[in-house]
Amino acid sequence: DSGVTQTPKHLITATGQRVTLRCSPRSGDLSVYWYQQSLDQGLQFLIQYYNGEERAKGNILERFSAQQFPDLHSELNLSSLELGDSALYFCASSRGTGLLTGELFFGEGSRLTVL
Amino acid sequence: SQELEQSPQSLIVQEGKNLTINCTSSKTLYGLYWYKQKYGEGLIFLMMLQKGGEEKSHEKITAKLDEKKQQSSLHITASQPSHAGIYLCGADMGTNAGKSTFGDGTTLTVKP
């Protein structure tokens, strides 16, 4: 158990819909990262928050947004969903601001299926 | 990821055999991490390498970072079915940014 909690574990929805994925980081970790993993794209970095502020941005679509709340949990909002958004979405946390400051602890992921 | 290239993409070995997975970058890496993932599950940290020429071992897995800090290899000795999974290398490609990049992964199958 990594200490990172993601909900829901599975989600099935229709195209055009909006969903919210939630992540609770490990106790004491200030950074939260979101990744998307699909068969054809591999593990893609989406966005990172550090202590409530956006720290780094990767290949995140404009239809997607995220935030980190004062209690450090984070939410990833996916809107106007398309079939291609079906993937496993991972949240990870770390103490510091980047990989150099320590390992990332990954949650078990939220599997999103868009029909 | 085009920034980090892993090879091979997949590997099937007989139990007991040794194997090597490579991770290559065109840029100098500030830190290189190896993770293992069981299909559909989260990633589990294996090792971190930061210094050129560094080598670390954990049980039967050894990882090395070359002197130029642009290539890393993961070597498994006497593979076992429990070693099966997807191995990913990850690195921080910037100096201050937290952007983290992962390779596309190497899928390892170990035949008993």
pLDDT, tens only, B51-99? 889 999 988 999 999 988 789 999 999 999 999 999 999 887 665 445 5
Neighbours of A70 (CB within 10 A): 7
Q: Of B77, B33, B62, which Cα lies nearest the Cα of A101?
A: B33
pLDDT for position A86 = 96
pLDDT for position B93 = 66
Question: Are B98 and A42 inside 8 Å of each other by CB?
Answer: no
Q: In DSSP terms, which residues pair with B63 in a beta bridge?
A: B56, B74
| B35 contacts: CB under 8 Å, gap ≥ 6 | A106, B43, B44, B45, B46, B87, B88, B89, B90, B102
Q: What is the pLDDT along chain A (115 residues), one digit of tens a residue?
A: 889 999 999 999 999 999 999 999 999 999 999 999 987 777 888 998 999 999 888 879 999 999 999 999 999 999 999 999 999 999 999 887 655 556 788 999 999 999 9
* A to B CB pairs, distance under 8 Å: 80
Measured between beta carbons, the chain A residues lying within 8 angstroms of B58 are none
